[in-house]
Amino acid sequence: MAGNLIIPSFSLHSSLAAWIQLISSSFLDKSSSSHHNYRNSKGSTDFCVRNIDHAAFGRREIEIAEQEMPGLMALKKRAAADKPLLGAKIIGCTHITAQTAVLIETLVALGASVRWAACNIYSTQNEVAAALAEGGYPIFAWKGENEEDFWWSIDKCINNEHWQPNMILDDGGDATHLMLKKYPAMFSSIKGIVEESVTGVHRLYQLSKSKKLTVPAMNVNDSVTKTKFDNLYSCRESILDALKRTTDVMFGGKQVLICGYGEVGKGCAQALKGMGCVVMVTEIDPICALQACMDGFRVVKLNEVVRQIDILITCTGNKNVVTREHLDRLKNGCIVCNMGHSNTEIDVGSLRTQELTWEKVRSQVDHIIWPDGKRIVLLAEGRLVNLSCSSVPSFVVSITASTQALALIELYNAPAGRYKDDVYLLPKKMDEYVASLHLPTFDAHLTELTDEQAKYLGLNKAGPFKPNYYRY
Ligand SMILES: NC(=O)c1ccc[n+]([C@@H]2O[C@H](COP(=O)([O-])OP(=O)(O)OC[C@H]3O[C@@H](n4cnc5c(N)ncnc54)[C@H](O)[C@@H]3O)[C@@H](O)[C@H]2O)c1
């Protein structure tokens, strides 16, 4: 049996055995002592949040997020009369933030009913969860859940005698996997799964490969709008925010080295150049290196500039890009941080030796001091610096969330046979639609193809405008 299990991404589950124990043990059937029994103003107790009294504060947070989520708000307005999700019963397992609340309320306005849990034990905004609970949505989430709470909350969403889910919106795959393992009959009646994260998508492909995926699933992680906006544009802004909040550094004239000139590296390089930094780049790929040259950046090896740089940022998705040897040679005061997914890009472990002193100077900021007095400034211990030290703009989340909503609508309404039990990318036309929902914010006016032009290019005037292989 163990051989068939797929280990969840959830970081606390360090071993397969621990996970098996977690989902098979009886604790899922009973309330943990840390659960709070509140009643909202309409008398409902079908939720579990930290403190329902903070609902008004959470409602304000949601209203602020709505201002910067034009795609979702437009979708809500355009489709509310059609109710394309009428009858959809969606299990949600995502970060519970003000932006997610806007998504939840949009899905409900489109006709769905939902039950929602957190996909991460730390990221829930308690006041937002309270506002949703007060609004009558069954939310099971609070910041600082333990492992038992985490699985209990997802289980409370799935297992309800008056409500049988038919769709899953997942971020990381934990709701999908709990249902598959514990409620296989319910799982087979699901109409579709929408998955947002790299890890969750990876797990879906594994299920598909081993023929255990018995429902169609949509991979929204790899839709163009998500990749471009999350990786390039969001990082372009959040790298500056993260560096400023943690170090108050003056950017002008600083020598910055960016390792990796992919989407994330391009965003960081552009932003820092704009602030007057002298930006250099390292690359392994000649195409990306040439792009960096054409964009006006010097392409160097880390070894060549290691003694002169003021800020070092890794964005490669690789490991051991910055080693102890490099760190030993950095100049006094150099700021070191990582924008890539994993915390292995900088060999932070190699800094935990006796001769080096660690001094925590702020939250997420450590000074590492060498015996000769040299110090470097390490941010977020080498974890994703923007997610650890700054916030993600609601506008970017609006794009991803609109993609998720459209994926749910597509899977829920697709005629039998359009999707088999496999993992799909969102149709390009929908990606284009998500982008178009965000254009009015900028008063952007699209040019329409003439009949003659459409014929010449072999396109439908309403799109899609690019083939699937087009790289934006
Ligand atoms: N911080 C965030 O908010 C955020 C957002 C999206 C993605 N990410 C993560 O950032 C990382 C990069 O994402 P991306 O979309 O730019 O990927 P990408 O593949 O487009 O770019 C990575 C680049 O690094 C280069 N590279 C690999 N090893 C290298 C090395 N040893 N030295 C120099 N260059 C090297 C590759 O050739 C590639 O061009 C990934 O881990 C991704 O998951 C972070």
- In whole angstroms, how large is the CA radius of gyration of the chain? 24
Distance CA 314, CA 337 (A): 7
Domain extent, residue 296, equals 242-389
Q: Tell me which H or E stretch contains 359.
A: strand 357-362
Is 38 inside any structural domain?
A: no
Is 464 inside any structural domain?
A: no
CA of 333 to the centre of ligand 1 (A): 25
pLDDT at residue 24 is higher than 80:
no
pLDDT at residue 147 is higher than 70:
yes
Kindly give, in sequence order, each residue whose CB lies less than 8 Å from that of residue 216, ignoring residues fewer than 6 positions away: 191, 192, 193, 411, 414, 419, 420, 421, 422, 424
Interhelix angle 126-134/55-67, rounded to 10 degrees, is 100
Q: Is the CB of 384 under 6 A from ligand 1?
A: yes
Question: Cβ distance 166 to 191 under 8 Å?
Answer: yes
pLDDT at residue 36 in the model: 63
Is 246 inside any structural domain?
A: yes
**Angle subtended at Cα 278 by Cα 323 and Cα 371, rounded to the nearest 5 degrees:** 40
Identify residue 440 by its one-letter amino acid code.
Answer: P
Number of domains in the chain: 1
Q: Is the CB of 263 under 6 A from ligand 1?
A: yes
CATH of the domain at 349: 3.40.50.720
Distance CA 49, CA 33 (A): 13
| 262 marked as part of a ligand binding site | yes
pLDDT at residue 10 is higher than 80:
no
Q: Name which residue sits closest to atom 20 of ligand 1, judged by CA.
A: 262
Phi and psi at 119, nearest 5°, equal -95, 0
Q: Is the CB of 345 under 6 A from ligand 1?
A: no
Print burial letters for 210-245: b (CB count within 10 Å at least 16), e (below 16).
Answer: eeebebbbbbbbebbbbebbbbbbbbbbbbbbbbeb
Question: Cβ distance 108 to 80 under 8 Å?
Answer: no
Q: What percent of the chain has pLDDT over 70?
A: 92
Going by pLDDT thresholds of 50, 70 and 90, the confidence category of residue 387 is: confident
CA of 252 to the centre of ligand 1 (A): 25
CA of 260 to the centre of ligand 1 (A): 6
Task: Read off the pTM.
Answer: 0.82
Is 114 inside any structural domain?
A: no
| 283 marked as part of a ligand binding site | yes
175 vs 157, 163, 363, 470, CA distance in Å?
A: 9, 16, 32, 33
ω into 464 cis (within 30 of 0) = yes
Nearest ligand 1 atom, CA 235: 3
Is 269 inside any structural domain?
A: yes
Is 418 inside any structural domain?
A: no
Is 228 inside any structural domain?
A: no
CA of 343 to the centre of ligand 1 (A): 12
Q: Is the CB of 282 under 6 A from ligand 1?
A: yes
Going by pLDDT thresholds of 50, 70 and 90, the confidence category of residue 13 is: very low
Is 400 inside any structural domain?
A: no
